[in-house]
Structure 1
Amino acid sequence: MSSSSSDLVVVGAGIVGLAHAVDAVERGMSVTVVERDERAVGASVRNFGHACITAQEGEALRFAEQARATWLRLGEQAGFEVAECGTVVVARSAEETAALEELATNRGTDQVRLLTAAETASAAPVSTTGLEGGALLARDLRVDQRRAAAAIADWLAAQPGVRFLWSTPVLGVDDGLVRTGRGPVRGDRVVVCAGHDLDRIFPETAESAGMRRCVLQMLQVRAPGLRLDPALLTGTSMLRYPALAATGGARALRTRLSHQRPELLEASVNHMLTQLSGGDLVVGDTHTYARTPEPWSSEEFDRLLLAETRALLGRDDLDVVRRWQGVYASAEGEFLRARLSPGVTAVAVTSGIGMTTAFGLAPSVLDSLA
């Protein structure tokens, strides 16, 4: 392997690592990206393709807003779909309606437009049974998640001063040096974006952060003739996204579900849908947490997700064509940024919002390195 040095070495070619490489290139830096697999196969492709901007708070909201502009630009430059289609949030109870009304008050009608039941059913193909209304989060994006990471990597590889080392395991990291299974890789600065596998490289850092793996169960569902442009969120989503979870309506909803639908809370369900370019739906998701998760999927969780989807859409003609597990790093707070030595920084999104925030997070990290 060449001993030539780069301004920045990025460990990991998932969306967080790619975001750091993109920002470095725009600063005129030379970049080497080291990735253990021959392509991105982790959380960066196993997600909903949903940039949930409006429902974030604080630093995550600032990062998400910055990332939005980068996604739109990269979609054009790298040649993958980024749709400004927004998100429809469905309200099927008084508590859910109250949560959306409070969010609209906090964010303003330019970001959150409340919908009647008829408007909600027109915006998304949901059942009108029990439908009270909804909201449109107009600034949210939908990204072609199964193409985006590969397209961004291809675009980066064509830029001057950028090289990718695929299928290259990282054995250790020191100031100015990444030791790999193919030999040393040198760089003035190193950013480690290994996600939930940070503990494979820096176990003490992961342990200090209380990092665990969050395992998601997700489905690809065939729904003949269905068209869904925006992302579709439900009441359980209101319990997970910060700007909604902080509302009085969401707190009341959690209390009611704890008595009436405890299985949704026990599985930590965020029931939401997006549509792939071929027409199938991405349906999810459940959440379980452990440093070393059990390797088994739960058929009960899959049945729960499918039943919720049939009820939401008012359709029984839904067929599961794929099942998978997603995994992401989970820890206290939304982001981990650890300066491990003068030239080495570990970065992880620890809240499952990497697609939403990575292109805002990366510039802040590189600013701190500069």
Structure 2
Amino acid sequence: MTVSAGTADVVVVGAGIVGLAHALVAVDRGLSVAVVERDERAVGASVRNFGHACATAQSGRALAYGRAARATWIRLAAEAGFWVGRTGTVMVARNAEEAAVLAEFAELRAGEVRLLNAVEVAERVPVGPGVLGGAWLMDDLRVDPRACVPAIAAHLASRGVVFHWGTTVHGIEPGSVGTSRGVLRAATVIVAVGHDVDRHFPDLATAHEIRRCALRMLRVDNPTGATIGPAVQTGYSMLRYGGFAECPSLPKLRERLTAEHPELIDAGLNLMFTQRPDGTLTIGDTHAYATTPEPFDDEALDAAVLEQTAGLLGVPNLRVRERWRGVYASAPEPFLIAAPADGVRVVSVTAGVGMTTAFGLAPEVMDGLGI
């Protein structure tokens, strides 16, 4: 016997930031919404990140989505009652190659990026010796992902969105979603399961070359005692964001960092940190790509992140409070929007920038569905 779990205009599978963004758009447009999440709360990449909406450093669609998402973050923070910091990002230049890239980037993003000298960098963030200058990406935002994601879910629930927590999806068909608690019926189904696209649509995942990216992050004590508003990023970060790829000097920077630390380039280091509400720092991160990531973590990678971050801060060592692995979807294209069946959309941010782009991506997906 088939048990009915209810009906809605839209069913969203996945309560991470991408799923919540689609639920928000749907309820804003007057639709009834049900969200199905296999865990008791969101525990994936959406809560295991820096809490950094880094729109300015993106390119192409990610830049457009990130810019559009900024206003939604600010509005939603006021409505749902969570903190959003209009802090921007400080990019730190510790060598001539990094300074050259930032100078070019400031021209590309005129009005959004302000170059800083060494004194101005030090006035904004605590850094060690050897800083030549930097840049302030003014429009970037910060949130606390551990607090804002549940706050968004609670806000949506207060607006009538029905959440089915601890519920596994077994099958997705046009007009229905079969779950461990019965069948949900809806004209529109949004599948926002991040890196687990292959669990539901394996051929689709293969066709789009979706793999899992396992990233490593740590929370450490802040030895400087300073209050740090902006996100802080480095030359390693410049190698990972699409906006910097437009800078003619980037190959020289890549050559220098590869010559100095080839093992860190191989590990996909994005050397950066943000400060948590309790004053500690979230630092990281390294990246490893595979359809099925190895379950074993090499301590040398965390040791390297700790050493590099200590050097950036100008301190001898750092005390670790927490370590974790985050996993997100990775693919050659930064966004997956697929229609495997009528009224069904599979949506995944496949570039590790879901917090930055989800609120800009979701309206476009819903527009494409004509709702």
Query: Which residue does the alignment assign to 2:67?
Result: 65
Contact 2:6 2:183 in 1 (8 A): no
> Is the deviation greater in 241-250 or in 72-81?
241-250
- Per-residue deviation at 1:356? 0.1
Name stretches of at least 5 consecutive residues in structure 1 with no aligned partner.
none
- Per-residue deviation at 1:350? 0.1
Query: Which residue does the alignment assign to 2:139?
Result: 139
> Is the deviation greater in 250-259 or in 354-363?
250-259
> Is the deviation greater in 80-89 or in 312-321?
312-321
Residue 146 of structure 1 aligns to a residue in which SS?
helix
Contact 2:171 2:200 in 1 (8 A): yes
Contact 1:84 1:140 in 2 (8 A): yes
CA distance in structure 1 between the partners assigned to 2:42 and 2:83 by the alignment: 18
User: Which letter does structure 1 place at the counterpart of 2:130?
Assistant: G
CA distance in structure 2 between the partners assigned to 1:257 and 1:318 by the alignment: 23
Name stretches of at least 5 consecutive residues in structure 2 with no aligned partner.
none
- Per-residue deviation at 1:3? 4.9
- Per-residue deviation at 1:4? 3.6
Contact 1:214 1:328 in 2 (8 A): yes
Runs of 4+ in structure 1 off by over 4 angstroms are none
Contact 1:97 1:249 in 2 (8 A): no
Q: Normalising by structure 1, report the TM-score.
A: 0.98
Residue 303 of structure 1 aligns to a residue in which SS?
helix
Question: What are the equivalent positions in structure 2 for 1:258-269 lying under 5 Å apart?
Answer: 258-269=258-269
Contact 1:98 1:248 in 2 (8 A): no
Question: What are the equivalent positions in structure 2 for 1:1-12 lying under 5 Å apart?
Answer: 2-12=4-14
CA distance in structure 1 between the partners assigned to 2:314 and 2:89 by the alignment: 20
Corresponding pairs, count: 367
Residue 214 of structure 1 aligns to a residue in which SS?
strand
- Per-residue deviation at 1:248? 2.2
CA distance in structure 1 between the partners assigned to 2:192 and 2:14 by the alignment: 5
- Per-residue deviation at 1:317? 4.7
CA distance in structure 2 between the partners assigned to 1:226 and 1:316 by the alignment: 16
Question: What are the equivalent positions in structure 2 for 1:252-331 lying under 5 Å apart?
Answer: 252-331=252-331
User: Which letter does structure 2 place at the counterpart of 1:82?
Assistant: V
CA distance in structure 1 between the partners assigned to 2:183 and 2:176 by the alignment: 7
CA distance in structure 2 between the partners assigned to 1:159 and 1:258 by the alignment: 50
CA distance in structure 1 between the partners assigned to 2:106 and 2:274 by the alignment: 23
CA distance in structure 2 between the partners assigned to 1:318 and 1:303 by the alignment: 10
CA distance in structure 2 between the partners assigned to 1:71 and 1:268 by the alignment: 28
RMSD: 1.0
Question: What are the equivalent positions in structure 2 for 1:1-370 lying under 5 Å apart?
Answer: 2-108=4-110, 110-127=111-128, 129-160=129-160, 162-224=161-223, 225-370=225-370
> Is the deviation greater in 260-269 or in 85-94?
260-269
- Per-residue deviation at 1:258? 2.1
> Is the deviation greater in 354-363 or in 196-205?
196-205
Cα 1:140/1:153, change in 2 over 3 Å:
same
CA distance in structure 1 between the partners assigned to 2:159 and 2:263 by the alignment: 49
Residue 367 of structure 2 aligns to a residue in which SS?
helix
- Per-residue deviation at 1:2? 4.3
Residue 10 of structure 2 aligns to a residue in which SS?
strand
Residue 46 of structure 2 aligns to a residue in which SS?
coil
- Per-residue deviation at 1:250? 1.9
Contact 1:212 1:289 in 2 (8 A): yes
Contact 1:220 1:320 in 2 (8 A): yes
